[in-house]
Amino acid sequence: MEERKKLSTVRKLKSGKSEAFFLAVRGVEVGIFAGLISVLYRYLLSIAENSLNKVLAYVGRNGIKIAIWLIILGFLGFFVAYINKKEPDASGSGIPQINGEIKGRLSPCWWRVILAKLIGGTTAVFSGLSLGREGPSVQLGGMAAKGVAKITKADKTTELRMISCGAGAGMAAAFNAPLTGVMFVMEEIHHSFDRNILCMGIVSSIVADYVSKLFFGQSTVFNYNTVTFPLGQYWVLILFGIIIGVSGVGYTKIMLKMQELYKKIPKLSQKVKMPIIFIFSGIVGLVLPQVLCGGHSMVEYLMNDHPSITVMFSLLVAKFAFGAVCFASGAPGGTLYPLCVLGTYLGATLGSVAIDITGLPTGLWEEFAVLGMAGFFAATVKSPITGIVLVFELTGNMKNLLPIATVALISYAVSDLLGGEPMYEALLGRISNKSESENLPKSREKIIKSFVIPIGSDLDGKRIKDIDWGRHALIITVERGEESITPNGDLVLKSDDEVVFFISQRKRAKTEEHLESLFAEQYKPIA
């Protein structure tokens, strides 16, 4: 086995054009399996949501039926708490766990996570919790890719690439958005450009999107009437972006605070707290069923009926409050689509007010809804490019790319200025995994990792030997344009150089963290 892995590593270093073919083949494998598992999850959630609607219709206002339904929900909550205890890496959204795996902090069992996520996520949606399918689809796609890598005995470097691309493929299959899947991997998971991951990721996301559309069709998630935004009124978009950015920061802080408060509830175990949340979901469903589950029905209601400002704001507040409680519980399910729904309602509410005040065309309220989603995504996830591409693919409309980009970038800038944390990065930092030390790789196999020197970096103009790369990282080559340079201590690095490392698996988490800090973009004031 060790000899096989050594040969695999040598192949990576020596191969040229053939490597692209290898990555493409792996991308097809990842796309097929990540797409199929995401399709299965999407199908199970649709059955769960339809079944929930039938149950609520059957229960009605009958006191006995309501009592029985709430008791059933209590047992379902206990069941999900049991699943979370047995497989903690399957709790919550799943995106932080994928980030943790890529960074070397976590190493869950792929088939256990898939099984727990499918069962736990379906149960949570059937119970009405305000959780979506998109975040779990990212984790399911990544774990499906990890399974393929394990079964085919791929080396560790290839396995990590496959997990990354599987996560993107899961995103692509969930949203019917292949470009979003690719950008999500680059911007949210890796925070850098990697040509190998880009090559594999494009193939896997396209294949997964194709698999998804075979089952669910090619229609876009959002369909709205496009009205060109007046160029002379872009000052409205600036104010709109600022408000969305501030709201995004507030949303992230409140959600994280709710998680802290939930964990601090005294003298109550998760086996007690989770059933209470599920029973609470049942009560909410009897009073305000519109806010249950991911929020697809809320979006349809918004776009089809155009409710009043009061109704939109009320649903916005209710969805946010209920979603915060469900998120804090740690039940398997995503926050990504509920987050997008909140952004849509916030945008539609603010847009309707802006139209009334400024006299903008009334048809622009739908545009404001879409702009709100892009801006809210950028402000909370801190991935503005992914947010822009996501909205473009969800709507199938590129006519208003300029206002979408304007709002997304302003919201992101405001969030950054206010010190807003990237939501999933913050969640990763809070993950408590008692077996983390047990998850450290035992293998001595090295992985290959590359970093690009950004313009303005302190590394630009320095010799290799003058930089502390860490004890467990070895530079094996420097890619400069089309030239591959065998490094020595006197080699002077330049911006845009791609530095390729061998990194020890055993110390990967700390080593990569150190290297990321070295290669991080640094904005220097003009002297």
Q: What is the DSSP string of 262-319?
A: HHT-TT--HHHHHHHHHHHHHHHHHH-GGGSSSSHHHHHHHHHH---HHHHHHHHHHH
**pLDDT average, residue stretch 8-28:** 67
Mean pLDDT, range 188-214, rounded to an integer: 87
C-alpha distances in angstroms, 160 versus 111, 170, 408? 16, 15, 30
Per-residue pLDDT at 208: 95
Q: Indicate the angle between helix axes 156-175 and 95-102, nearest 10 degrees.
A: 160
- When pLDDT is averaged across residues 454-467 and rounded to a whole number, the result is 88
Q: Which domains does the chain have, with CATH numbers?
A: 24-216 (1.10.3080.10), 233-272+289-430 (1.10.3080.10), 446-519 (3.30.70.1450)
A 10 A CB-CB count for 442 gives: 9
Q: Report the distance separating Cα 16 and Cα 120, nearest Å.
A: 44
304 exposure class (CB count in 10 Å sphere: 0-12, 13-18, 19+): exposed
For residue 24, report the phi and psi dihedrals to the nearest 5 degrees: -65, -40
**Residue 206: pLDDT over 60:** yes
DSSP state of 154: -
pLDDT tens digits for 369-379? Answer: 999 999 999 99
Range ranked top by mean pLDDT from 39-48, 177-186, 300-309, 447-456: 39-48
Question: What is the spatial distance between Cα 337 and Cα 195, in angstroms, rounded to a whole number?
Answer: 29
Q: Which two tokens stand for residue 526?
A: 């003009």
pLDDT of 526 reads 37
**Is the pLDDT score of 284 beyond 90?**
yes
Q: Are 171 and 137 in contact (CB under 8 A)?
A: yes
Q: What is the pLDDT of residue 333?
A: 87
Alpha carbons within 13 A on the beta-carbon side of 241:
21
Alpha-carbon span 172 to 188, nearest angstrom: 14
No. of helices (H) and no. of strands (E), the chain: 19, 4
Q: What would the pLDDT profile of 349-367 be if each residue is shown by its tens digit?
A: 999 999 999 888 888 888 8
User: Given a cut of 60, is residue 438 above it in pLDDT?
Assistant: no
Q: Say what the pTM is.
A: 0.86
φ/ψ of residue 480, rounded to 5: -125, 100
DSSP category for residue 188: I
